[in-house]
Amino acid sequence: METIQVKGSKYNSVIYVGERLENLAKLIPGKGVFIITDSNIDRIYGNRLPPLPKFVVNPGEQSKTLLRLTEIYRWLLDSGADRNSFIVGIGGGVVCDITGFVASTYMRGVRFGFVATSLLAQVDASIGGKNGVNLDGYKNIVGTFNQPQFVICDTSLLKTLPETELSNGFAEMVKHALIADAPQFNILESNTNRLNTCDLELLDSLVASSVGVKASIVTADERESGERKKLNFGHTWGHAVEKVTGIPHGQAVSIGMAFASQLSAEKGLLTPDECHRITSLLIALNLPVSIKANTNNIFEALQRDKKRCSNAIDFILLEGIGKAVIKSLSLVEIKEFIERKYCY
Ligand code: ADP
Ligand code: ZN
C-alpha cells in the first residue's frame, strides 16, 4: 500500500492506494457515520460494506442535481446526523461529487471520506477537493473546495468495472503522465496489454504514481490560480466535444489530448514522433483520438464555454512528453488550426 498526502488550505487529505474496502472501518469514527453509494456498488459490494445507515443514489450524472441532494439532506436530518457526524462516499466520480458537496454544506460542513471504486475516481475525481453538482445542463456549476479526510483507492474493485469505464480512467492517467511524468508515460506505453486486462499489481503502482502527480499539483495550487490549470490538458477541446456529442468524459478528453498534442506539434513544441506516440498509446488503451462531428459546432461550444475570457483561451500544450505549458491562444488562431489541419 502507498500513502499520498494532499495539503489543502483548510484540511489535509490522505490517499491510500492499494488499501482494501474491508479496512474502511479503521479510518472512520466509531459512531455517527453515514454512507452514500450508488445502486451498482450496492448490488455488487453491499454485503462487504460496514452495517451503517446508507443512502443509495441512481448511477450516473443525473443524480448530481440539487433536487437529489435535498433528499439526502432530509435523510441525514431524519437519521439524526449532526455536526459531529462523518459521511463516507463509496463509488465513482458521481458519488464522490455528491458526498463531498453534501458533507461540505450539511450543518455548514461535516467530515467526510471516500472509497473510490472507479479508475476515474481513483486517479482524478476523488483527489483535489473539488465537489460539485450540475444545474440546467451546466456541469459542476454549484460546488465547493474541500478536502476529504481520506480516500481509499482499492484497485481490486476495478475487476467489476465495465471496460469503457476503465478506459475513461486511462485517459486521465495518460493526462497526468503527459503533463508531468515522462517515465510514467513510458511505463503506460510498454504495458497496454496488462492494463487492458486490469493487472492489479501494475495498476496499484500506476494508480499511485498518477495520484502522486495530481496530489502535488493540487497541493501547490488548490484553487486553480496557475499550476492546477495544467490538469485541464485535453479538457478545453474535450469539454466542447463532450457537450456537442454527449460521449463519455474520458473519451472526450482523449480526443482533446490528441487535438492539443497536434496543436503543440504544429507550434514546434512537440516532435511529430512524440505526437504519434501519444495518439498510439490512446488507441492502444481503447480510447478515440477523433470523432465524426461537425468541427464548427465544437468550435462554437468552445467559444461559448470560454466567452468570459474575451478573444483568447488559456490552452494547455505540451513542450515534450511530461511537460505542460499554459499558452494564451487567440480564437482566430485556433479556428485557423482547425481549418488547416483538423478535418474529421
Ligand atoms: P466516474 O467515471 O466519474 O467514476 P460514475 O460515478 O458515474 O463516474 O461511475 C461510472 C459507472 O461505473 C457508474 O455506473 C458506476 O455505478 C459504475 N461503477 C463504479 N465503480 C464500479 C465498480 N468497482 N464496479 C462496477 N461498476 C462500478
Ligand atoms: Zn477530466
Question: What's the CA gap between 125 and 14, in Å, rounded?
Answer: 15
**Res 310 pLDDT > 80:** no
Cell 459546432 maps to which residue? 297
Nearest atom within ligand 1 for CA of residue 39: 16
The model's pLDDT over 282-297, given as tens digits with 9 standing for 90+, comes to 999 999 999 988 899 9
Task: Assess whether the C-beta atom of 93 lies below 6 angstroms from ligand 1.
Answer: yes
Ligand nearest to the CA of 116: 1
Which three cell numbers mark 148?
A: 476529504
- Tell me how far the alpha carbon of residue 295 lies from the centroid of ligand 2, in angstroms: 21
Nearest atom within ligand 1 for CA of residue 38: 16
Question: Could you write out the three-class secondary structure of the chain?
Answer: CEEEEEECCCCEEEEEECCCHHHHHHCCCCCCEEEEEEHHHHHHHHHHCCCCCEEEECCCHHHCEHHHHHHHHHHHHHCCCCCCCEEEEEECHHHHHHHHHHHHHHHHCCEEEEEECCHHHHHHHCCCCEEEEEECCEEEEEEEECCCCEEEECHHHHHHCCHHHHHHHHHHHHHHHHHHCHHHHHHHHHCHHHHHCCCHHHHHHHHHHHHHHHHHHHHHCCCCCCHHHHHHCCHHHHHHHHHHHCCCHHHHHHHHHHHHHHHHHHCCCCCHHHHHHHHHHHHHCCCCCCCCCCHHHHHHHHHHHCHHHCCEEEEEEECCCCCEEEEEEEHHHHHHHHHHHCCC
Nearest atom within ligand 1 for CA of residue 60: 7
- Tell me how far the alpha carbon of residue 340 lies from the centroid of ligand 2, in angstroms: 27
**Res 344 pLDDT > 60:** no
The model's pLDDT over 52-109, given as tens digits with 9 standing for 90+, comes to 999 999 999 999 999 999 999 999 999 999 999 999 999 999 999 999 999 999 999 9
Task: Assess whether the C-beta atom of 118 lies below 6 angstroms from ligand 1.
Answer: yes
Task: Assess whether the C-beta atom of 161 lies below 6 angstroms from ligand 1.
Answer: yes
Task: Assess whether the C-beta atom of 154 lies below 6 angstroms from ligand 1.
Answer: no
pLDDT at 304: 81
For residue 16, with 0-12 CB atoms within 10 Å meaning exposed, 13-18 middle and 19 or more buried, which class applies? buried
Task: Assess whether the C-beta atom of 261 lies below 6 angstroms from ligand 1.
Answer: no
- Tell me how far the alpha carbon of residue 85 lies from the centroid of ligand 2, in angstroms: 30
Task: Assess whether the C-beta atom of 172 lies below 6 angstroms from ligand 1.
Answer: no
Task: Assess whether the C-beta atom of 180 lies below 6 angstroms from ligand 1.
Answer: no
For ligand 1, pick from 43, 56, 117 the residue to mutate: most ligand atoms within 8 Å of CB. Answer: 117
For ligand 1, pick from 98, 151, 165, 207 the residue to mutate: most ligand atoms within 8 Å of CB. Answer: 165
The two domains 2-160 and 163-341 share their CATH topology (first three levels equal): no
Task: Assess whether the C-beta atom of 120 lies below 6 angstroms from ligand 1.
Answer: yes
| Cα-based angle 249, 328, 305 (whole degrees, multiple of 5) | 40
Name the residue ranges covered by the structural domains of the chain. Answer: 2-160, 163-341
Q: Match domain 2-160 to its CATH number in 3.40.50.1970, 3.90.1150.140, 2.60.40.650, 3.30.70.360.
A: 3.40.50.1970
At residue 309 the predicted structure's pLDDT band, cuts being 50, 70 and 90, is: low
Superfamily of structural domain 163-341: Dehydroquinate synthase-like - alpha domain (1.20.1090.10)
The model's pLDDT over 204-223, given as tens digits with 9 standing for 90+, comes to 999 999 999 999 999 998 88
Question: What's the CA gap between 344 and 334, in Å, rounded?
Answer: 15
Among protein residues, the one with the nearest Cα to ligand 1's atom 25 is 161
Task: Report the chain's terminal Cα–Cα distance, integer Å.
Answer: 44
Task: Assess whether the C-beta atom of 38 lies below 6 angstroms from ligand 1.
Answer: yes
Task: Assess whether the C-beta atom of 56 lies below 6 angstroms from ligand 1.
Answer: no
pLDDT at 303: 86
Cα distances (angstroms) measured from residue 16 to each of 211, 214, 281, 288: 10, 14, 27, 31
Spacing of C-alpha 218 from chain mean position: 13
Task: Assess whether the C-beta atom of 213 lies below 6 angstroms from ligand 1.
Answer: no
Nearest atom within ligand 1 for CA of residue 93: 3
pLDDT at 8: 87
**Res 306 pLDDT > 80:** no
- Tell me how far the alpha carbon of residue 169 lies from the centroid of ligand 1, in angstroms: 10
Which three cell numbers mark 141?
A: 456549476
The rounded mean pLDDT for the chain is 94
Question: What's the CA gap between 32 and 84, in Å, rounded?
Answer: 7
Q: By percentage, how much of the chain surpasses pLDDT 70?
A: 98
The pTM of the full predicted model, rounded to 2 decimals, is 0.95
The model's pLDDT over 136-170, given as tens digits with 9 standing for 90+, comes to 888 889 999 999 999 999 999 999 999 999 999 99
pLDDT at 251: 98
